[in-house]
Amino acid sequence: MGSVSGPEFSGILMPAEDVGAAKIGITKQFLQEAWVYHERYSATPYFRWLIEQATKGRLAREPSIVLDIGSGSGNSVLPLLDLFPKARVVATDLSENLLAILRDHLGADSEKRSRVSLVCLDATSADYVEGAVDLVVGAAVLHHLLDPAECVRRACHALSPNGTAIFFEPFEAGNAILRLAYERILARNADGSIVPLSGAATHTLRALIQDYVVRAGSDKSAPIFRDLDDKWLFTHAFFKGVIAPLGGYDLEIEPINLSDDCFTRQTLTNLRLSLGLSEEAVMRALPEWAWNILRETDAAISDELKKDLPIEARITISRTA
């Protein structure tokens, strides 16, 4: 891309047919504001834990080629290089800006840099070689896409026999429970008989509820979705509907961070990210009566049912021999 888009993108490859093509469904957060996104959402240790839990003792063989979809600035690529020291990683993203950040970070480690290919492409139209890769990883990428089903189908096409694809994504079921809890908190706040929510907390809960409403369901044809970063909350039925017609693939969906207080914990994360709070300040963002509503929500749902109501889940797709 250096000769096409400028020296700041040297070392990043792009399919010839994609040169000059419009980037649809991706916003400036991932392009012009890539550094801001990188600094806010870098969480390499967390993604290392996710990938290690998803792959340890689960792969048919040590992968020699790994396809990473939605690599961004390296949240998943850096752990993959550490976890599979003999593998070559093909790091792909629609944002050359984020890939440039990853390239510069890798530049300090010549050994790791030599094992990475950086490719700017659209994962919903990528023409992968069939059976070419042993492991596909998509770390929180599908919910950003207008057509995640096509991305999954193409990733499955790229898998070698006994190869595995792993995605980490938000699910509608668990977030619907959070939505109901937040609506209950706002209704309680409106009666005026208790310590009120702060303006910032009220705004955040309303925004989260609206986000859950917009992202629910599978119809993403409205023009608004081209301008939204987060487009999807997934269901088990969505992935079953994608995989079943392909034939020759096994599907497993498991909740991430399952615990007896998962809805309370997720709210802590939501507030920390939305309000930019420290870990210590998060608990003070809501009054005690609001936290009690969340604790009651957690207590009302059995551990067994929570397995069927993931807030986030690991999707594992294995190609049969």
Q: Taking a C-beta distance cutoff of 8 angstroms, is the pair 66, 87 a contact?
A: yes
Q: Which domains does the chain have, with CATH numbers?
A: 2-170 (3.40.50.150), 173-228+259-309 (no CATH)
Token pair belonging to 288: 């005690």
3 pLDDT higher than 60: no
* pLDDT for residue 40: 87
Encode pLDDT of 68-88 as tens digits.
999 999 999 999 999 999 999
Q: Catalogue the E-assigned strands of the chain.
A: 12-13, 65-69, 88-93, 116-120, 133-139, 159-170, 249-255, 312-319
CA distance 253 to 239: 9
Average pLDDT score, the chain: 95
Encode pLDDT of 221-250 as tens digits.
999 999 999 999 999 999 999 999 999 999
Alpha helices in 34-171 (DSSP H): 34-41, 44-55, 77-83, 96-106, 110-113, 148-158
Encode pLDDT of 148-192 as tens digits.
999 999 999 999 999 999 999 999 999 999 999 999 999 999 988
**Mean pLDDT across 27-41:** 94
CA distance 211 to 292: 23
Encode pLDDT of 269-287 as tens digits.
999 989 999 888 999 999 9
Given pLDDT bands bounded at 50, 70 and 90, which one contains residue 108?
Answer: confident
User: How much is the pTM?
Assistant: 0.95
55 pLDDT higher than 60: yes
* pLDDT for residue 109: 92
Q: Taking a C-beta distance cutoff of 8 angstroms, is the pair 310, 256 a contact?
A: yes
CA distance 31 to 80: 24
